[in-house]
Structure 1
Amino acid sequence: MYQTRMNTWHVYLLRCKDNSLYCGVTTDPVRRLAEHNAGTGAKYTRARLPVAMEAVERFPDKRSAYRAEYAVKQKRAADKVSFLKQLAMEENRS
């Protein structure tokens, strides 16, 4: 589903059961999705199970991934998915 490499960072958006979005950073999106659905992920998602991967984008390093996560969290829910994709394209072009 999602291939990962060592030192590759991802920003992901989860769609929760209540239709809200959760944004996070990980090096392994498949593992992190499983953790969320097992109830061992973030406190926010534990009360909103099950969750599904809405979007995931790769970033070249940890710093850029956390910057992107912060920027995504500042956007309205309706804009988050497209904004994340745009950020990833810009960052990976550099």
Structure 2
Amino acid sequence: MIKLYRNKQGKKLYPVCSWENNQHKLYNAHDRIMNTICEAQEAGLEPPYEEQERIEKAMDAFERYVIQGIVYATYEESCLIKDYVAAYDARHY
């Protein structure tokens, strides 16, 4: 029987990915956006702070519910996490 996990608000949590195999991918995305922000500031452009908030939201969701090495998240958060994981995979494979 499959166990159904829920967060404190009662929303369903879905299995997203392996924490161990994918954790570095979100940190890479954070490093990339921080570099972009620094470059934008140096060039006198508007830094993409919204993207920084987006990746930090994904990182928080990624760390919130890890059960037996698997990341669980709400549907919306799982889509956000998968976007960053897929972007990393596209750049590195």
TM-score clears 0.5: no
Q: Which has the higher strand share?
A: 1
Q: Which has the larger radius of gyration?
A: 2
Task: Report which structure shows greater RCO (CA 8 Å, sep ≥6).
Answer: 2
TM-score, scaled relative to structure 1 = 0.28
